[in-house]
Amino acid sequence: MRICLECADGGHLDEMLGLLDAFTGHDFFFVTFNTKMTRHAGSITRIHYVPNFKSFIDPTRLPSVFRTVYTFGYLAWNTPKTLGILLRERPDVVISTGGPVTIPIFFLSRILGIRSIYVESITRVDDLSGTGRMVYPIVDIFLVQWPTLLKKYRKAEFWGRII
């Protein structure tokens, strides 16, 4: 099975690295930002980098209206690169632990018929993350790590704290 592991840097990458044992024996590769933290993933397997707007501006410091403009700009910028990666690698499934890089890859996966799994952060106890809310309607499997989220999100599944 060919698996695309997609995540942003920081905690999203830490959580993905915590799942690596599950992919032993499979052909897997990363899609992420090119940062100091993510470069070491290249020693584990193949890695594809997508552009990171955050190197220009931190969207978390913007008012919400500008954050929306940022998000649409980000999607327009990364979608062609992400499409190229998916068409070249032809994964059977895309698994993500989040970050803004998740949004274009999950929408494209849906269009291309590639199965998708989103793993919500263990830090999300009461509500979904912004990325989680955006991809919730389109992913095949949406995993949460706290059973309290099952009451609010019918599609979510709880397989235990997997990270």
Going from the N-terminus, what domains does the chain have, and what CATH number goes with each?
2-158 (3.40.50.2000)
d(CA 14, CA 6): 12
**Contact indicator for 2, 115 with CB cutoff of 8 Å:** no
pLDDT digits (tens, 9 = 90+) for 7-28: 888 878 888 888 888 999 999 9
| Run of H or E including 39 | helix 36-39
d(CA 36, CA 84): 24
In this predicted structure, what is the pLDDT of residue 66?
Answer: 67
Q: How many residues does the chain have?
A: 163
pLDDT digits (tens, 9 = 90+) for 45-87: 788 988 776 555 555 666 667 666 666 676 777 888 999 999 9
Query: Which amino acid, residue 158?
Result: F
